[in-house]
Amino acid sequence: MQRLGLPHRRGLIAVAALVAGCAVATLVIVIGSRGSTPRFAADVQPIFDGKCISCHPVAYPYLDLRRGKSYADLVRVSAATRPAFERVVPGKPEFSYLLIHPPDPSLRGVLTRDDRETIAAWIKAGAKDD
Ligand code: HEC
C-alpha cells in the first residue's frame, strides 16, 4: 500500500501544475485581448447600433450613426452644435466631441465606462476605418 503513495502524490502535483498553467494562460489571454486595439466595424459600430441609431439619424439627421454612414460623419467632421470641435480627432480622444459631449442630452449615460474606453482607444490608435 505504501508504494502507491508516491505516484499518487506525483499525480496531484501534475494536476496542480496543470491548473496553475491554465490559470496563467487564461490571464495572458485576458490581458492580451484587453491590450489589443479596438476596431471600428467590430468594436465601435456595435455600440452605435445598440444605443444611438434610434435618434441618429432618425430624430437628428445632422449625425448619421448607422453602419456604413457613421465613419464619414465622425472623423474630422465639425460638430453641428459646436462647430469649433471636431466629432473625432484621430489620436486625440480628449479633443473629440463624440466623447467630450455627453451623447444623450437627457444625461442618462447611454455610454458605459467600457464603451467610452473602447471608443477612446480606437481614436487614440488613429481612428482608422477598419
Ligand atoms: C434620445 C435621443 C438620443 C440618443 C439615444 C442619442 N443622442 Fe446624440 N444627440 C441627441 C440630441 C438631441 C443631440 C443635440 C444636443 C445638443 O444640442 O447639444 C445629440 C447630439 C449628439 C452629438 C453632437 C453632434 C454634433 O455634431 O453637434 C454627438 C456626437 C452625439 N449626439 C452622439 C451620440 C452617440 C454616440 C449616441 C449613442 C451612444 C447618441 N448620441 C445617442 C439625441 C440623442
Residue 22 has pLDDT above 50, yes or no: no
- The span from the CA of 62 to the CA of 34, in Å, is 33
Which is more confident, 99 or 2?
Answer: 99
- The span from the CA of 24 to the CA of 28, in Å, is 6
pLDDT of residue 8: 60
Q: Is the CB of 74 under 6 A from ligand 1?
A: no
pLDDT tens string 74-120: 999 999 989 999 999 999 999 999 998 765 655 566 888 899 999 99
- The span from the CA of 65 to the CA of 112, in Å, is 18
Give the ligand 1 atom nearest the CA of 77. Answer: 26
Q: Is the CB of 87 under 6 A from ligand 1?
A: yes
Mean pLDDT of 115-126: 97
Q: How far is the CA of 83 from the centre of ligand 1 (A)?
A: 14
Percent of the residues in the chain that have a pLDDT greater than 90, as a whole number: 52
pLDDT of residue 46: 97
pLDDT of residue 59: 86
Q: How far is the CA of 90 from the centre of ligand 1 (A)?
A: 20
Maximum Cα–Cα distance for the chain, whole Å?
Answer: 84
Q: Is the CB of 110 under 6 A from ligand 1?
A: yes
Q: How far is the CA of 104 from the centre of ligand 1 (A)?
A: 5
* Band of pLDDT at residue 58, cut at 50, 70 and 90: confident
Q: How far is the CA of 121 from the centre of ligand 1 (A)?
A: 20
